[in-house]
């Protein structure tokens, strides 16, 4: 990944990016930090790049032309993102960091003095980023923060020990407290559960501590935390996809195998802080579910098939043949049957398709199923695509889009 940093103080960027983990990543060519001194693009014979502000007032403003020329000197692709570091922007967060890590190169523009002529910002800048609600003397420290945070997601930059997979902020939760030897220090003992060897209990304890800590220190973050529940059925391929997407979304996500009759028969309640992912497909029931189906279930199922009352859906007419309609109705009925015991309370829900083709194929069923779920208390489902044939970048992009919905409460 390549970072171009446009600045009037290149040594500030170099000092920071030549040391520690980022320095190591630069040396091993995993990342490249190219500093560009905007003064080299001055259009003034005294090499000045700033001037007095129109309308008067304190301070100086960096001229548009040197900034424009500096950007153009490094910008090779029209879609390269140009990020302006400024306190007048949304504050950087982990979702944005991961989104930027998917780029091959980015241009970071650092202002100084009173700022930069608005016209060049309007023409060139794609993203405005602040690193916090305070004003710094320039954008360089912000740029260094951004490079550090983004580099951690570049494959190979972190060793296994430093791995960024599970960490603070992944679930919009702060991390739980950590302990190492000795077991007792200054009279304080390590919490007993961590010595128990019971991994399930340890995970439960960590989640509880994460929530406690977030509530205490960052209650604003807690609002954006959702418990992820992935409901899948069909073949193992769907389990694999559900497992992978779930772990990209949350450290604490849970998988539910809706091939299991027992699960289908259990009433499951979800609330406002739950996020339900349903992996849709048109797999027939597995042996387990079909084999165990009682005559009563069959009767209920065929009644539902013909009446369609649960959702009040219109019968399909015209464009489908009778045989297609029958197949369609059966698929819809089996979906509703499978999930008949789900209960939501203003619960966010997402349909996941295994590809564009599948999405088209399931369009009508999904529509009926979505109305069915809304009657059960869920919000109108969003739709995303995720499958095992996607490359890593596409998979991460899907997870990120879902996370930014949650982050921005844009469901
Ligand atoms: N430049 C000045 N203050 C800044 C901030 N808080 N974040 C990013 N860039 C800045």
Residue 318 pLDDT grade (very low, low, confident, very high; cuts 50, 70, 90): low
Can you give the pLDDT at residue 304? 44
Rounded to whole angstroms, the Cα distance separating 66 from 72 reads: 10
Residue 156 pLDDT grade (very low, low, confident, very high; cuts 50, 70, 90): very high
What average pLDDT score do residues 3-25 get?
96
Among the ranges 284-293, 320-329, 332-341, which has the highest mean pLDDT value? 332-341
* Alpha-carbon Rg for the chain in angstroms: 27
Residue 165 pLDDT grade (very low, low, confident, very high; cuts 50, 70, 90): low
Residue 154 pLDDT grade (very low, low, confident, very high; cuts 50, 70, 90): very high
Rounded to whole angstroms, the Cα distance separating 370 from 375 reads: 9
Report pLDDT digits (tens) over 66-80.
999 999 999 999 999
- Measured from the Cβ of residue 121, the count of other Cβ atoms closer than 10 Å reads 18
Instruction: Assign domain 226-407 one CATH number from 3.40.50, 3.90.1690, 3.50.70, 1.10.3680.
Output: 3.40.50
Residue 404 pLDDT grade (very low, low, confident, very high; cuts 50, 70, 90): confident
> Is 9's pLDDT higher than 80?
yes
Rounded to whole angstroms, the Cα distance separating 35 from 5 reads: 5
* CA-closest candidate to residue 277, choices 248, 308, 305: 248
Q: Residue 299: which H helix or E strand, with range?
A: helix 295-307
> Is 298's pLDDT higher than 50?
no
Can you give the pLDDT at residue 290? 35
Protein residue with its CA nearest to atom 7 in ligand 1: 130
What average pLDDT score do residues 157-173 get?
72
Reading the block at residue 142, the tokens are 């912000």
Can you give the pLDDT at residue 307? 41
CA of 127 to the centre of ligand 1 (A): 13
Residue 163 pLDDT grade (very low, low, confident, very high; cuts 50, 70, 90): low
Average pLDDT over all residues of the chain: 89
The DSSP call for residue 137 is S
The Cβ-side half-sphere exposure at 392, using a 13 Å CA radius, reads 6
Pocket test for ligand 1, best of 62, 136, 145 (most atoms within 8 A of CB): 136
Residue 22, classed as helix, strand or coil, is helix
Reading the block at residue 382, the tokens are 């969003």
Residue 114 phi/psi, 5-degree rounding, is -80, -15
Pocket of ligand 1 (CB under 6 A): 85-87, 130-132, 134-136, 138-139, 142
CA of 56 to the centre of ligand 1 (A): 23
Distances (CA, A) of 155 to 101, 129, 164, 402: 10, 24, 10, 22
Reading the block at residue 132, the tokens are 């916090």
Can you give the pLDDT at residue 294? 39
CA of 78 to the centre of ligand 1 (A): 26
CA of 139 to the centre of ligand 1 (A): 5
Protein residue with its CA nearest to atom 5 in ligand 1: 87
The DSSP call for residue 347 is B
2-162: what CATH class? alpha beta
> Is 211's pLDDT higher than 90?
yes
Rounded to whole angstroms, the Cα distance separating 48 from 71 reads: 17
* CATH superfamily of domain region 171-223: tRNA(m1g37)methyltransferase, domain 2 (1.10.1270.20)
* CA-closest candidate to residue 115, choices 93, 143, 145, 136: 136
> Is 27's pLDDT higher than 90?
yes
Can you give the pLDDT at residue 282? 83
Q: What share of the chain has pLDDT > 70, as a percent?
A: 88
Rounded to whole angstroms, the Cα distance separating 49 from 354 reads: 53
Report pLDDT digits (tens) over 114-139.
899 999 999 999 999 999 999 999 99
Return the exposure string of 16-50: e unless at least 16 CB atoms fall within 10 Å of the residue's CB, then b. bbeeeebeebbeeeebebebbbbbebbeeeeeebb
Higher-pLDDT residue of 289, 233: 233
In the chain, where the domains are located: 2-162, 171-223, 226-407
């Amino acid at each position: 990944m390549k970072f171009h940093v446009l600045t009037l103080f290149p040594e500030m960027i170099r000092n920071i990016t030549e040391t520690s983990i980022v320095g190591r990543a630069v040396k091993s060519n995993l990342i490249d930090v190219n500093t560009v001194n905007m003064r080299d693009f001055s259009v003034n014979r005294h090499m000045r790049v700033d001037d007095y502000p129109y309308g008067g007032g304190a301070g100086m403003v960096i001229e548009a032309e040197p900034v424009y020329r500096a950007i153009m000197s490094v910008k090779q692709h029209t879609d390269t993102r140009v990020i302006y570091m400024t306190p007048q922007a949304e504050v950087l967060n982990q979702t944005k960091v991961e989104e930027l890590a998917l780029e091959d190169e980015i241009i970071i523009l650092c202002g100084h003095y009173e700022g930069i002529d608005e016209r060049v910002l309007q023409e060139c800048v794609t993203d405005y980023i602040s690193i916090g609600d305070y004003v710094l003397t320039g954008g360089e420290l912000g740029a260094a923060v951004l490079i550090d945070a983004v580099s951690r997601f570049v494959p190979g930059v972190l060793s296994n020990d430093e791995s960024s997979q599970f960490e603070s902020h992944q679930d919009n939760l702060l991390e739980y407290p950590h302990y190492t030897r000795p077991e007792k220090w200054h009279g304080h003992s390590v919490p007993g559960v961590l010595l128990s060897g019971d991994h399930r209990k340890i995970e439960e304890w960590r989640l509880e501590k994460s929530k406690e800590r977030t509530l205490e220190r960052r209650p604003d973050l807690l609002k954006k935390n959702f418990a992820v529940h992935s409901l899948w059925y069909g073949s193992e391929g769907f389990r694999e996809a559900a497992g992978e997407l779930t772990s990209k979304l949350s450290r604490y996500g849970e998988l539910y195998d809706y091939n299991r009759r027992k699960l289908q028969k259990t009433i499951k309640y979800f609330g406002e802080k739950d996020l339900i992912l349903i992996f849709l497909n048109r797999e027939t029931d597995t042996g387990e579910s079909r084999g165990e189906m009682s005559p009563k279930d069959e009767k209920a199922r065929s009644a539902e098939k013909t009446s369609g009352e649960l959702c009040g859906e219109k019968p399909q007419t015209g464009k489908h043949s009778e045989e297609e309609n029958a197949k369609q109705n059966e698929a819809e009925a089996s979906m509703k049957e499978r999930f008949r015991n789900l209960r939501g309370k203003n619960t966010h829900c997402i349909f996941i398709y295994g590809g564009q083709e599948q999405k088209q194929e399931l369009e009508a069923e999904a529509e009926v199923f979505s109305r069915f779920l809304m009657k059960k208390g869920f919000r109108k489902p969003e739709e995303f695509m995720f499958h095992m044939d996607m490359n890593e970048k596409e998979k991460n992009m899907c997870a990120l889009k879902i996370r930014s919905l949650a982050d921005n409460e844009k469901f």
